[in-house]
Amino acid sequence: MCASSQEVDHPGLHDRGLSAAEAEKAEANECKRALAMNSSRVVLLCSALCTALDLPQDPAAQPLRKAMHMMLLSGYHMEDIEVTFAMTLFTVRQNARVVNHMGLLEKVLVTLLHAYCAHCLVFDECIPCRVWHEWVFAQYCSPRMLTMALRKVCLLSKWRFNVPEEDLRPVLDELRAEFALDADCESKVPVRDRTDSCSTNDGSPRCAEASSVSESE
Alpha-carbon distance of 24 to 213, in angstroms, equals 10
Residue 95 φ then ψ, to 5°: -105, 25
The number of angstroms, rounded, from the C-alpha of 212 to the middle of its chain's C-alpha atoms is 19
Which pLDDT value is given to residue 157?
87
Strand ranges (E), the chain: 6-7, 125-126
Q: Which long-range contacts (CB under 8 A, 24 or more apart) does 18-25 make?
A: 24/212, 25/212
Distance CA 77, CA 35 (A): 10
**Three-point CA angle 142, 64, 217, nearest 5°:** 90
pTM: 0.73
Residue 40, phi-psi category: left (phi > 0), alpha (psi -120 to 50), beta (remainder): alpha
What amino acid occupies position 108?
V
Write out pLDDT tens, residues 76-129: 999 999 999 999 999 999 999 899 899 999 999 999 999 999 999 999 889 999
User: Distance (Å, rounded) from C-alpha 57 to C-alpha 193?
Assistant: 24
**Residue boundaries of the structural domains of the chain:** 21-187
Over the stretch 15-50, which tens digit does the pLDDT of each residue have? 445 566 766 777 778 888 888 889 899 999 999 999
Give pLDDT, residue 203.
36
pLDDT at residue 24, rounded to an integer? 74
- Residue 130 predicted with pLDDT over 90: yes
Q: What is the pLDDT of residues 135-166, one digit of tens each?
A: 999 999 999 999 999 999 999 888 888 899 99
